[in-house]
Structure 1
Amino acid sequence: MLNSSFPHSSTDDIGDDSLFARIATDLNRQGFSVIPNALPEALAAQLLNQVLNMNSEDFAHAGVGRHTDLTLNQFVRRDGIHWIEGQTSAEQLWLAWTHRLQQYLNRRLFLGLFSYESHFARYLPGDFYRKHLDAFRGEANRRLSTVAYLNPGWLPDDGGELVIYEQDPEQEITQVTPAYGTLVVFLSEEFPHEVLTAKRQRYSIAGWFRVNGSSNDRVDPPS
């Protein structure tokens, strides 16, 4: 599905290298990767600690669309979000870790990933996100989507699964339980997906690796 190469990694963390290699292989083979217990424990623990200590006012109602087209639509999604900008040590660790993933995937798959944006997402009981695409072909610069889960002790009856679909013909591929440490990575333009209704409070980090969509009169993504 993707052009691939297999250079020797310069990453010092052998555990990360092994994980990143598995993600790259999955993306090349099928366009998505689902790996339980993927997040390094120290990183996951710090992210969980931060999100559990955030207040309700730290989360804004999530919208649909971008920039001037951004609207609130609770028939489509009801989660709350908090953008990750490196303001805490946990956020800095997360951004450093995803930057290493970005570098690895660029070397291995020649994806041209240019930047990364992400936010915490909080789903209260009853919250959901209807089926959608993260990017439309030729209309956006999101190349890869990522979702990391921060929910210890999540049970099957707790709901909140991520459902990933084939685009053409549209049919379900897999359901992902939002269990602590699980990481999902998929091609943003290729896979419609939705979050089923959560029955208990649910935390995740949603993120997007983007390519450079700048033109002569427009910088995208902005610096």
Structure 2
Amino acid sequence: MPALTLTDNHPDDGDHPVLFENISRDLLLKGYSINPYALPLGLAEELWQHLQQMPNTAFANAGIGRQQAYSRNGFVRSNLIAWIQDDCPAEQHWLQWATGLQSYLNRRLFLGLFSFESHFAHYATGDFYKRHLDAFKGQANRVISLIVYLNRDWNPSDGGELMLYQPAADQDPLRVTPTFGTVVAFLSEDFPHEVLPARRDRYSIAGWYRLNSSHPERVDPPS
């Protein structure tokens, strides 16, 4: 992935400069950013309402890998996902917000982020996702992982925490409670993470900012 460098200029991104700037600086200094209750409330409410209206058939068993390497492995993860398109206002507004963050990160950190993909994730009671990386060193695909939580009145006793493992072996993992509107971002290649089993239905959005890895045999992003 490209080296992170902070520019001196602060791009003007309307209502979100404080959050976007916090994420930029955190990524530069720590490699991760955890922002409780930070997603704009109107957008969080709209996404939550959209989730309530989505039929169960919109969700499918999650897998691991991409394209030819894709497989389903119930030992690694047991949640359901629904890929986000732009065919309804809630999803359009989410993608607009995520694109705004992408533009800010590109201008502030010189990242060259090319595309964004995301899905809703539903963890039913007992569901989990064991420790994994979103990208592997040198593959130049996913650069920044982005997670937003959409769970009302979530208590620590409800489980389902994100465990974010830091690169240094002597550092304790970070434990993130999936409370409503919390925004998490981290370097995809550097932070293994897992989702602990939930004790009630747990909803989130997981997304990834990617570089352009096109070559003569394949156009990015893959379909």
* SS of residue in 1 equivalent to 2:179: coil
Provide the aligned length of Structure 1 versus Structure 2.
221
What does the per-residue CA deviation read over 1:183-223, in whole Å, with 9 as the maximum and x for residues that have no partner?
A: 00000000000000000000000000001001122112237
CA distance in structure 2 between the partners assigned to 1:35 and 1:98 by the alignment: 15
Task: Identify unmatched segments of 5+ residues in structure 2.
Answer: none
> Structure 1 stretch 86-95 or stretch 53-62: which is displaced more?
53-62
Equivalences for residues 175-214 of structure 1 within 5 A? 175-214=175-214
**Shift in Å, 1:172:** 3.5
* SS of residue in 2 equivalent to 1:144: strand
What does the per-residue CA deviation read over 1:117-168, in whole Å, with 9 as the maximum and x for residues that have no partner?
A: 0000000001000000000011241000000000010011100000000235
**Matched-pair contact (CA < 8 Å) for 1:4–1:108:** yes
Which residue is equivalent to 1:221?
221
CA distance in structure 2 between the partners assigned to 1:152 and 1:27 by the alignment: 27
Which residue is equivalent to 1:80?
80
Which residue is equivalent to 1:124?
124
Which residue is equivalent to 2:10?
8
**Matched-pair contact (CA < 8 Å) for 1:164–1:175:** yes
Task: Identify unmatched segments of 5+ residues in structure 1.
Answer: none
Q: What is the TM-score with the length of structure 1 in the denominator? A: 0.95
**Matched-pair contact (CA < 8 Å) for 2:131–2:193:** yes
Once superposed, which parts of structure 1, at least 4 consecutive aligned residues long, lie more than 6 Å away?
none
- Determine what percentage of the aligned residue pairs are the same residue: 53
Which residue is equivalent to 1:166?
166
Which residue is equivalent to 2:63?
63
CA distance in structure 1 between the partners assigned to 2:8 and 2:222 by the alignment: 31
Give the 3 Å change call, closer, same or farther, for CA 144–170 of structure 1 in structure 2: farther
**Matched-pair contact (CA < 8 Å) for 1:163–1:172:** no
Q: What is the TM-score with the length of structure 2 in the denominator? A: 0.95
CA distance in structure 2 between the partners assigned to 1:170 and 1:51 by the alignment: 39
> Structure 1 stretch 175-184 or stretch 138-147: which is displaced more?
138-147
> Structure 1 stretch 168-177 or stretch 122-131: which is displaced more?
168-177
RMSD: 1.3
**Matched-pair contact (CA < 8 Å) for 2:11–2:108:** no
CA distance in structure 2 between the partners assigned to 1:30 and 1:125 by the alignment: 32
Which residue is equivalent to 1:44?
44
* SS of residue in 2 equivalent to 1:166: coil
| One-letter code aligned to 1:9 | P
**Matched-pair contact (CA < 8 Å) for 2:10–2:108:** no
**Shift in Å, 1:58:** 1.1
**Shift in Å, 1:8:** 3.2
What does the per-residue CA deviation read over 1:47-99, in whole Å, with 9 as the maximum and x for residues that have no partner?
A: 00011121221100000111111111111001100000111100000000000
| One-letter code aligned to 2:120 | F
CA distance in structure 2 between the partners assigned to 1:10 and 1:74 by the alignment: 44
**Matched-pair contact (CA < 8 Å) for 1:164–1:172:** no
CA distance in structure 1 between the partners assigned to 2:192 and 2:36 by the alignment: 21
